[in-house]
Amino acid sequence: MPSRTPILQAGRVGRPRLKRAFYARPAVDVARDVLGAKLVRSEPGGSRISGWITEAEAYVGPEDLASHARHGRTDRNAAMWGQAGHAYVFFTYGMHWMLNLVTEAEGQAGAVLVRGLLPDEGLETIRRRRKRPDRQLTDGPAKLCQALAIDRTIDGQDLCGSNAELYLLPGVQLPDRVVTIGPRVGLNKVPEPWLSRPWRFRVSPDVLTDLVEKESGA
């Protein structure tokens, strides 16, 4: 049996990757629009793991006191300040990796944290990497990084290059009515107004599954 979720056949060969212009916009816009896009991990050795993005958060710049950019440019967050369309991957809590998509113009520190996926290709590999029920395999920012083997080696990589190990494909266009908007989560000791800014965007995996089925002409 192929390690692919049966109903989810919408990823088409030869479809163009999201181009840099998609990322080179305000982080909040990218966070909204990236829902339904397909994140693809192409590992050295040929295996391919992918999933549709179900949740994302925007971190807008050094003035955003929830952002790692709040202390200015450091070795750790350097990728945030670079060209849009690159990855910013960081390590936290002594054990977890997190993936961001770098947004905005070069020199501005915008980024979008990818917080949830609906798995498509590589489900067997994902199951091997984390023993959980299927619905809980990639429903968190650290969990999806483990599923796709995203770690420090991805930090700073260009998502738009033709040889990229990680990139995005256009997936499903989501109408506003299926997108839930709210404050970002997991922020400790972050003052207002940043704590309450509605910069978290979500679509339920069930709803996205239905839309993917429809799109693929099932």
Partner DNA sequence: AGGACGATTAACT
Partner DNA sequence: GTTAATCGTCCTG
Residues forming the site for DNA (CB under 7 A):
57, 59, 66-69, 71, 74-77, 80, 88, 91-96, 98, 100, 111, 113, 115, 130, 132, 136, 140-143, 184-189
Q: How far is the CB of 138 from DNA (least distance, A)?
A: 9
Which is closer to DNA, CB of 161 or CB of 186? 186
Q: How far is the CB of 211 from DNA (least distance, A)?
A: 24
Which is closer to DNA, CB of 4 or CB of 96? 96
Phi, psi angle pair for 122, to nearest 5°: 80, 25
Q: How far is the CB of 114 from DNA (least distance, A)?
A: 9
* Number of other CB atoms surrounding residue 19 within 10 Å: 12
Closest to 112 (Cα-Cα) out of 168, 28, 170, 173: 28
Q: How far is the CB of 121 from DNA (least distance, A)?
A: 20
Which is closer to DNA, CB of 142 or CB of 169? 142
CB–CB of 19/167 below 8 Å?
Answer: no
Q: How far is the CB of 205 from DNA (least distance, A)?
A: 14
Which is closer to DNA, CB of 15 or CB of 132? 132
Checking phi first, is residue 34 left (phi over 0); if not, alpha (psi -120 to 50) or beta? Answer: alpha
Which is closer to DNA, CB of 77 or CB of 125? 77
Closest to 91 (Cα-Cα) out of 157, 154, 152: 152
Rounded CA-CA distance 122/78 in Å is 31
Structure tokens at 187: 């922020």
